[in-house]
Structure 1
Amino acid sequence: MASFVTEVLANSGKLEKEDLGTKISRLSRRVEELKGEVCDMINKKYDEFLPSMQSAEDLVKQVHGLVSDVDVLKSQIENEVKSELRVAVNEFTELKQQLEKNTIILAALEQLQEFDSAIEKYNCTLSEKNYISAARHLERAQNNLNLLKSRKGCELKVLKSLGIELTVQKQNLLYHLGEEWQQLASWKLPPSKEHSSLEMILKTELHLCTSLSSDESSSAPLLGSVLQAFAILGELNTKLKFFSQLLLNYILKPLVSHPSLHVEVETHQHSVILRFESIETHWEHPPPAEVFLKLRLVFELLHKHLLDVPVEDSQQNGETSKVLLAEVLGDMIWEEISESVIKDCLVYSIPNNSNKLEQYQEVINCTEEFENALKGMNYLKGDATDLLKYARNVNAHFASKKCQDVIVMARNLMTSEIHNTVKITPDSKVTLPKLLKPEVSEKGTKEISLPRETSALENDVKLSQHTFALPTCRVSESVQKLMELAYQTLTEATASSKPCAIQLFYTVRNIFHLFYDVVPTYHKENLQKLPQLSAIHHNNCMYIAHHLLTLGHQFRYHLPVPLSDGAATFVDMVPGFRRLGTECFLAQMRSQKEDLLERLSNAKTFCNMEDEENYTTAHKAIRQVIHQLSRLGKVWQDVLPVAIYCKAMGTLLNTAITEIVSKITSLEDISTEDGERLYTLCRTMIEEGPLVFTPLPEEAKNKKYQEEVPLYVHKWMKFKELMTILQASLQEIVDRWADGKGPLATEFTTNEVKSLIRALFQNTERRAAALARIK
């Protein structure tokens, strides 16, 4: 049988009568024959030694002839057969491609037929309200369309029209499903978007259909059919997401945030209506048990009439699994409703006192019951959620709330008025709580024994009980309450758990840090302008520093480790508070000094007192200084401690008389009348200046301190000596100088005395002799 290539070449009319196959086979046979003859010849020549030269030459000729025939045949194959083979291969490739194209077209036609069949079946099932089948037919049509679009080389213009048709039919099905869903669960919402007001919330209603199917002959419940169809179309999560947001905003969250709001359920033959009613209550924030009861009623109603439906959910591996609708909705709303319950309910149920922590177990129990009920209805899955964790972590929340309340109270006290004061005396005492004796720690450390007084260490002369007491002064009522708050908080810490105690202790430290930062900033303007407030602030800081010295030690052994090991201390804050009070009061003192010097600057240099206008100006300046000191005395005397008051007033009075002395000693010429008038001005200061030290009636025991004016006014004696000089003769001046050993020499330098003599007396021999004595 001829080969396929031979037949193709023969049919094309380009091959000779005797085909190549025949020639090749004949040549092969002739080669074999020749091979035998050659072998036979060589055998005879070398083996049998027969003379066969002639026959050998004949054979050589025959071999050359066969080689020539083979070359001709090879050339013919190269030139003719191979070219014809290329043509045959190209024709075969074209036929194969045509066959593949026809196969693709047939498959596309088959998918088009399946698409059309799916759409027809969809229309039929939709008219019968068999929504699950309708959705599956649409899904099948979508799969066919996707396959058509994915095929290479199949770019039919009809695909665009098919896509539009599929979209229209899907939206048509979604419309019908939406209408059915609207019948199953319909909302009546308030007209206003502001649904936070109680009046608007009361207008909210949710209607749930209780009938199983739209057609009594239908075997599948309508609710399950609608929801499964939504799931097949991939719209179930979208629909439930919208429903969950309405449920949260219009039902669940209002029930949590409004104590007077309650659920009312109205049952009919084929439906159930959920609406609200308002019941007057005295609760500002609803208790957790009441909130959980109301929420549970809503969840049970939804579970019974709407959400207890299994829906098939397609997995990535192609398998399907049953998913409960309640579980899907629970995943959507649980995080948000938990946050609302914590923020609007549980936060306010945290007790303010550690004594009430045991009662909080009821809240933990009702929270656990609420979550277990939701797990039973498949809203929740897994172990304890954030809601229960929050309730169980009551100790930490109690500490945080307590600390927050303490900080808020402290800040309110710091920003209240400073001028409302109370009087503090050495007999004033802070009522300390009764603390239990230090117990043995959990690690078994020994009980710390406080040092006892022993007679061997006692001295014959004992200190007064008021030795380390704060001197009598006035402090702000708010600061006294602030210290009471600190003591109360530390007392609370001694009865709390270890983490809570540590947190409360450092909250007390934060109170004082806050005072250090807030008060000088908040009251800055008043502290600068009002001398009384700067004095009160000074006392406040000293009062706090006084308590901080012993505050930590009083509670140290009643606090947990590491506080009891020495960390419970406030002593490090004492220098800062003392500096804070001192700097504020010193700033006020500098301001008062500037005012005094400014008033005295109006008197110019006290020169030419013969001029009535100059004398009046100087007298007015002196009166203004005395008035300023008197005014300061009134606002400071009952506020500052006696020692601080005397020192402050003495410093200001000293500033005034130092300036007066400086101005008078700088005069170059003082007439007799000028001297008289200057003496009168100085006498006014001598007579009225010490009046600022006059004690109040209730300070009679402090009179001895306030009568020692020179102790606080360093230039007082110099001022008196100046007055003496203004009235004295040359001889009296020389006598008071007493060769540099008299009272005048104690207060004035040689140059100052000589300058005054030259200004007061004319240039005579007696003045020259007196000047010579001053050395």
Structure 2
Amino acid sequence: MADCNVDVILKNIFDSKDSNNWTPSDKIPLVIKEIEEIKNDINSFLSNSDYDIATILKEGSEIYADSKALVEEMELCRQEIEQETMAEILKSIEKHDQLVKELQSVNFAIDIVYDVTQCGKYVKEFDEGREAQSFTRAIEAVYDLVQYVEMPVEGFKYLELYTNTKNTAQLILNNLLHDLYAEWDRLVNYIVRTGPRKTIITITLNLEDTIIVNDVLNALDRSKKLTEKVSEFAQFLLKDVITPIINNDCTVYAETEVLMTVTVNHKQNFKPPYDAVIANLRLLFHYLSNKLNVEFNGVNTIMKMVGQEICHAFRDVLVKDCLIDTIPNNINELQSYGRITSEIQDFQLFLTLVKFFPDEKLSILNYINDIDVLFASKSCQYFLETARAIMFKDLSISMSIGVENIPEANVEPKATFDAHVEGALKILDETIPRSLFYFPRCMISKTTQELLDLVYMMMEQAVQCSDVVSKKLYNTTRLVFELYDAVVPYHHENYLQTIPQYVALFHNNCMYLAHNLQTFGDKWLILMEGRELDYPISFVDLVQKLRDLGYKHLTLHMQQQRKQILDNIRSSDLNCIVVKDVLSDNAEAAVRQCLRQLQLLKNVWIGVFPGNVFTRLMATLVNMFFDELIHRVCTVEDISMEMATQLTEIYTLVVQKAPQLFQDSSDIDNHVKSWMKLQELIFVLGGSLKDIEKHWMDGVGPLAVHFRTEELRSLIKALFQNTQFRANLLSKIK
């Protein structure tokens, strides 16, 4: 049968040429015709089909009839069930619910009776335990009873019997625990009596391997209170016995088999040696082992429980407060440290044998794994503490150091080098002064040399140590010099502000340390030759820092000396020449005081500073003193004859005394710039106009060299009256 496309058929029918003028009656015949053709096609298709359509339709009709009969039969069954069977089912359900309620009531009563019976059973067991004088049986019964009444069945807790039983059980348990605690205190007793000079600790242990002791221990264990009591005793041992033995002078003595006395003597700044600590701990643990290794529950002992509680804390305290201190601070003692570790290992074995240490080999010697780090820290701490102690010492205890004169270059046969190398060596020889390698003769504090000896010792030790220790020592050596910068000026501050000798020695100390640091890094590198270093070694950056430190305090002291000189002058009549005709005695007294001050500085500084440094410092102060004296006169507008005479006498005294302030009297000519100017000022004060004219010599004489034109003209106007001769002289001085 060909496919029938309804849309195509309809389109063919209605889409004709006269599609716009058709009526339904026109199209109906066409539609009917198409339907008939389709029917014929269907009949033709069915007749040619492989299936027996008629038979299929017949069978379908029969199945429909059977199904309809079955549905009617099922409906009849449903009606019969609803009317008869459901009534019987409802009666059965009602009877079942009644039986369930009766069963629940019976079970409820049985549970309550069972709980009452169990409580009675536990009470009976408790009575039997007390009659047998067994704490263990009694505590087990009461403990079980207390736990049982904590989870009662429904209904039991509403009975008056439940409340009475629960209260009675708790009361009995509390009384039993009180008796057990009393027994424990009898077995394990300790008293601490603290006094101002010593603390006495007595420990009494009556633990024996007897039935009574085992009964008490098992009862405490069953009530879960043994761990609490043992922990309390273990913490007492750690805090009040073991820690004082490790940190104080102690006497451990077993008075009897059950009594031990530990006497802790209170001594300030005392640290017991490690061997004394180990000896005392051996006595303590031997006593504890004899009394606490009592087995209960077949395997456990009090000693093991004490060890489990505090063994790790004990090890940490022993290592931190005692054994760490045994690590030496020098390489020679470190090499023989094996003897100490052997003793510690023996002590560790002893602690294992007495069952204080567990079987997993808890080691005291774990700190040895970091021996290099610990040794580095210990030695560095020792060196820093030693250096700090040296820095606190008196600076005035001094010693001579350095050379008087730089030795001449030794004539040695020259090796043959390449022309470029020889040229470089020549430039180096011409550039670097020989004074770089020599320190001038002066005085330094002995503590400075002591400090240098210490850092040289640190350097020598670093060379013999591992890279970790060596690096740590190098950094510590640098830290020593930084510590010097921080500690010495602060600790000796008062002396540096008031005592010139201290300032001089401190300045020299800084210069001497800086001088040594210039080559200290090279010496270190030479000794470390052959080792691969991952850090640079140099101390050159500290050189200028130390020099600046010395300069700073010397400069401050020089300013203080200058201020004293200026204050002396400015507090006298020399500061008010303009308002006086005659100077009082305080002017000469002020000048003499300044000279005495400078003389005192000479007496203190000469021989302490290097010669050239002393000369420069003294020249600086003297020149400032002269400048102030000259300034006092050159700024006055009018000076009387009497005052000029007084000034001449006072300044002449200065000229006579000043050369004595130097090692060589000629030093004043070479280093004091105002020396000749002061002498020329004295000449002007005591001379005539004619003498001044001769010294002026038309601008080429001594006065022209040392005085500015304005100064000289002002001085002449102040000293001499206005005459024609003065006017002529002033006209020449231009």
TM-score by length of 2: 0.77
Query: Hey, what does 1:740 align to over in structure 2?
Result: 699
Residues 88 and 607 of structure 1: is their aligned pair in 2 closer, same or farther, counting only changes over 3 Å? farther
Query: Hey, what does 2:177 align to over in structure 1?
Result: 174
Q: Answer yes or no: is the 8 Å Cα contact 2:348–2:363 preserved in 1.
A: no
Residues 772 and 96 of structure 1: is their aligned pair in 2 closer, same or farther, counting only changes over 3 Å? farther
Displacement of 1:290 after TM fit?
5.6
Which secondary structure state, in structure 2, belongs to the residue aligned with residue 422 of structure 1? Answer: strand
Residues 383 and 543 of structure 1: is their aligned pair in 2 closer, same or farther, counting only changes over 3 Å? farther
Query: Hey, what does 2:522 align to over in structure 1?
Result: 553
Which secondary structure state, in structure 1, belongs to the residue aligned with residue 597 of structure 2? Answer: helix
Deviates more, 1:462-471 or 1:584-593: 462-471
- One-letter amino acid of the counterpart of residue 751, structure 1: E
Q: Distance in 1 between matches of 2:554 and 2:197?
A: 52
Q: Answer yes or no: is the 8 Å Cα contact 1:501–1:559 preserved in 2.
A: no
Displacement of 1:542 after TM fit?
0.9
- One-letter amino acid of the counterpart of residue 128, structure 1: A
Q: Answer yes or no: is the 8 Å Cα contact 1:259–1:285 preserved in 2.
A: yes
Query: Hey, what does 2:69 align to over in structure 1?
Result: none
Structure 2 residue 431 is matched with structure 1 residue 454: no
Q: Distance in 2 between matches of 1:691 and 1:736?
A: 27
Q: What is the CA deviation profile of residues 575-633 of structure 1, one whole-angstrom value per residue up to 9, with x for unaligned ones?
A: 11000110111011111111111111123435279855x23222122112111111222
Which secondary structure state, in structure 2, belongs to the residue aligned with residue 261 of structure 1? Answer: strand
Q: Distance in 1 between matches of 2:644 and 2:475?
A: 67
> Over the residues paired in the alignment, what is the CA RMSD in angstroms?
4.0
Q: Answer yes or no: is the 8 Å Cα contact 1:210–1:305 preserved in 2.
A: yes
- One-letter amino acid of the counterpart of residue 653, structure 1: V
Residues 185 and 561 of structure 1: is their aligned pair in 2 closer, same or farther, counting only changes over 3 Å? farther
- One-letter amino acid of the counterpart of residue 129, structure 1: Q
Query: Hey, what does 2:373 align to over in structure 1?
Result: 396
Query: Hey, what does 2:150 align to over in structure 1?
Result: 146
Query: Hey, what does 2:715 align to over in structure 1?
Result: 756
Displacement of 1:376 after TM fit?
4.2
Q: Describe how 1:75-86 pairs up with structure 2 within 5 A.
A: none
Displacement of 1:676 after TM fit?
1.8
Q: What is the CA deviation profile of residues 621-680 of structure 1, one whole-angstrom value per residue up to 9, with x for unaligned ones?
A: 211211111122222223222222111111111111111111211111123332222211
- Alignment match of 1:208 (pick from 192, 197, 206): 206
Q: Distance in 2 between matches of 1:309 and 1:211?
A: 7
Q: Answer yes or no: is the 8 Å Cα contact 1:208–1:306 preserved in 2.
A: no
Query: Hey, what does 1:351 align to over in structure 2?
Result: 328
Which secondary structure state, in structure 1, belongs to the residue aligned with residue 336 of structure 2? Answer: helix
Q: Answer yes or no: is the 8 Å Cα contact 1:208–1:305 preserved in 2.
A: yes
Q: Describe how 1:301-380 pairs up with structure 2 within 5 A.
A: 301-311=287-297, 323-380=300-357
Residues 479 and 211 of structure 1: is their aligned pair in 2 closer, same or farther, counting only changes over 3 Å? same
Q: Distance in 2 between matches of 1:290 and 1:660?
A: 75
- One-letter amino acid of the counterpart of residue 327, structure 1: K
Q: Distance in 2 between matches of 1:405 and 1:178?
A: 51
Displacement of 1:250 after TM fit?
5.7
Residues 501 and 126 of structure 1: is their aligned pair in 2 closer, same or farther, counting only changes over 3 Å? farther
Q: Answer yes or no: is the 8 Å Cα contact 1:476–1:540 preserved in 2.
A: yes
Structure 2 residue 600 is matched with structure 1 residue 631: yes
Displacement of 1:110 after TM fit?
2.6
Q: Describe how 1:51-66 pairs up with structure 2 within 5 A.
A: none
Q: Describe how 1:216-365 pairs up with structure 2 within 5 A.
A: 222-248=212-238, 251-253=241-243, 255-257=245-247, 261-264=251-254, 266-267=256-257, 272-275=258-261, 288=274, 291-292=277-278, 294-311=280-297, 323-365=300-342
Structure 2 residue 382 is matched with structure 1 residue 405: yes
Q: Distance in 2 between matches of 1:231 and 1:395?
A: 47
Which secondary structure state, in structure 2, belongs to the residue aligned with residue 576 of structure 1? Answer: helix
Query: Hey, what does 1:193 align to over in structure 2?
Result: 194
Residues 654 and 475 of structure 1: is their aligned pair in 2 closer, same or farther, counting only changes over 3 Å? same
- One-letter amino acid of the counterpart of residue 363, structure 1: I
Residues 276 and 657 of structure 1: is their aligned pair in 2 closer, same or farther, counting only changes over 3 Å? closer
- Alignment match of 2:557 (pick from 588, 610, 622): 588
Structure 2 residue 647 is matched with structure 1 residue 678: yes
Query: Hey, what does 1:432 align to over in structure 2?
Result: none
Q: Distance in 2 between matches of 1:337 and 1:670?
A: 91
Query: Hey, what does 1:773 align to over in structure 2?
Result: 732
Q: Distance in 2 between matches of 1:423 and 1:368?
A: 52
Displacement of 1:228 after TM fit?
2.2
Q: Distance in 2 between matches of 1:108 and 1:428?
A: 116
Deviates more, 1:233-242 or 1:523-532: 523-532
Q: Describe how 1:610-759 pairs up with structure 2 within 5 A.
A: 611-612=581-582, 614-693=583-662, 695=663, 703=664, 707-759=666-718
Query: Hey, what does 2:3 align to over in structure 1?
Result: none
Which secondary structure state, in structure 2, belongs to the residue aligned with residue 669 of structure 1? Answer: coil
Query: Hey, what does 1:57 align to over in structure 2?
Result: none
Query: Hey, what does 2:391 align to over in structure 1?
Result: 414
Q: Answer yes or no: is the 8 Å Cα contact 1:256–1:291 preserved in 2.
A: yes
Which secondary structure state, in structure 1, belongs to the residue aligned with residue 393 of structure 2? Answer: coil
TM-score by length of 1: 0.73
Query: Hey, what does 1:444 align to over in structure 2?
Result: none
Q: What is the CA deviation profile of residues 405-444 of structure 1, one whole-angstrom value per residue up to 9, with x for unaligned ones?
A: 2111111111222222222232899xxxxxxxxxxxxxxx
- One-letter amino acid of the counterpart of residue 426, structure 1: V
Q: Distance in 2 between matches of 1:336 and 1:295?
A: 15
Q: Distance in 1 between matches of 2:643 and 2:587?
A: 12
Q: Distance in 2 between matches of 1:734 and 1:716?
A: 21
Query: Hey, what does 1:542 align to over in structure 2?
Result: 511
Q: What is the CA deviation profile of residues 355-387 of structure 1, one whole-angstrom value per residue up to 9, with x for unaligned ones?
A: 122322122223223323433444323656462
Residues 655 and 367 of structure 1: is their aligned pair in 2 closer, same or farther, counting only changes over 3 Å? same
Q: Answer yes or no: is the 8 Å Cα contact 1:367–1:391 preserved in 2.
A: no
Residues 566 and 107 of structure 1: is their aligned pair in 2 closer, same or farther, counting only changes over 3 Å? closer
Q: Distance in 1 between matches of 2:553 and 2:397?
A: 19
Q: Answer yes or no: is the 8 Å Cα contact 1:184–1:208 preserved in 2.
A: yes
Deviates more, 1:100-109 or 1:580-589: 100-109
Structure 2 residue 584 is matched with structure 1 residue 607: no
Q: Distance in 1 between matches of 2:275 and 2:630?
A: 82
Q: Distance in 2 between matches of 1:738 and 1:726?
A: 18
- One-letter amino acid of the counterpart of residue 304, structure 2: E
Q: Distance in 2 between matches of 1:661 and 1:359?
A: 74
Structure 2 residue 462 is matched with structure 1 residue 476: no
Q: Answer yes or no: is the 8 Å Cα contact 1:650–1:713 preserved in 2.
A: yes
Q: Describe how 1:14-163 pairs up with structure 2 within 5 A.
A: 103-104=107-108, 106-148=110-152, 154-155=157-158, 159-163=162-166
Q: Distance in 2 between matches of 1:243 and 1:249?
A: 10
Q: Answer yes or no: is the 8 Å Cα contact 1:676–1:727 preserved in 2.
A: yes
- One-letter amino acid of the counterpart of residue 441, structure 2: T
Q: Answer yes or no: is the 8 Å Cα contact 2:156–2:162 preserved in 1.
A: no
Displacement of 1:725 after TM fit?
1.8
Which secondary structure state, in structure 2, belongs to the residue aligned with residue 206 of structure 1? Answer: strand
Q: What is the CA deviation profile of residues 269-305 of structure 1, one whole-angstrom value per residue up to 9, with x for unaligned ones?
A: xxx44456999xxxx8665456445534543443444
Q: Distance in 1 between matches of 2:442 and 2:253?
A: 62
Q: Answer yes or no: is the 8 Å Cα contact 2:208–2:294 preserved in 1.
A: no
Residues 298 and 589 of structure 1: is their aligned pair in 2 closer, same or farther, counting only changes over 3 Å? closer
Which secondary structure state, in structure 2, belongs to the residue aligned with residue 519 of structure 1? Answer: helix
Residues 523 and 758 of structure 1: is their aligned pair in 2 closer, same or farther, counting only changes over 3 Å? same
Q: Distance in 2 between matches of 1:326 and 1:715?
A: 92
Q: Distance in 1 between matches of 2:500 and 2:196?
A: 54
Q: Answer yes or no: is the 8 Å Cα contact 1:363–1:391 preserved in 2.
A: no
Residues 731 and 99 of structure 1: is their aligned pair in 2 closer, same or farther, counting only changes over 3 Å? farther
Which secondary structure state, in structure 1, belongs to the residue aligned with residue 474 of structure 2? Answer: helix
Deviates more, 1:394-403 or 1:119-128: 394-403
